[in-house]
Amino acid sequence: MKSPKPVARVVKSKVPVSELNVRKAAARLLGAKLVTPEVAYVQRELGTSATQEDLDAKVVAVRSMPWASIVLPD
């Protein structure tokens, strides 16, 4: 009887959720710049590090969100 082949694990590395990385992702995915409140929202939601897939998804999603949910109330 053959032993099963080992399953290859895909390790998703995390990237820093810095302002520069958020802006670069927006330029790559949207072809436009995010405004400061949008960048701050992405950073608040993701924390200090996230996978590139999570960062990309949040950058795309922030553009379709209502403004009231992005901006912090005073």
| 57-67 per-position pLDDT tens digit | 999 999 999 99
Quote the mean pLDDT of the chain.
91
Helix (H) or strand (E) holding 10: none
| β pairing state of 49-51 and 14-16 | antiparallel
Give the pLDDT of residue 7.
79
| 19-38 per-position pLDDT tens digit | 999 999 999 999 999 999 99
Give the whole-angstrom CA distance, residue 69 versus residue 42: 12
Please state the domain extents for the chain: 14-67
Handedness of CA 42, 44, 49, 51 (dihedral sign): negative
User: Candidates 1.20.5, 3.40.50, 1.10.3470, 1.10.238; correct CATH number of 14-67?
Assistant: 1.10.238
Split at pLDDT 50, 70, 90, the class of 1 is low
